[in-house]
Amino acid sequence: MCGDAAGATAYRATAEKVRQGLCRLMEPDGYFIRSEESDGRHGVIRAAKHGYFEAHPNHDAGRAFASSMTPRTHASWISC
């Protein structure tokens, strides 16, 4: 983005929209779901349909956020 002021501005606007939307994909236990589709939320731990272990987890995201996970999140995962 060096030297591309218009591109940098567009990138910042897109990044802000993504940050604002992330809360829709986070569960109260502190983890991100896989996706939200017209047929429901995919990747929700203990969900009867589209549950976490039936969906393919995003391992890269898990590693990226592992250091910021709360004990509550870890307890939720272990209880499954």
- Name which of 28, 22, 24 is nearest 64 in CA terms: 22
Distance CA 40, CA 78 (A): 24
pLDDT at 19: 85
pLDDT by residue for the chain (80 residues), tens only, comes to: 678 899 999 999 999 998 888 888 888 888 888 888 888 888 887 788 877 655 555 555 555 555 556 677 667 666 55
pLDDT at 14: 93
Tokens of 47: 């969900």
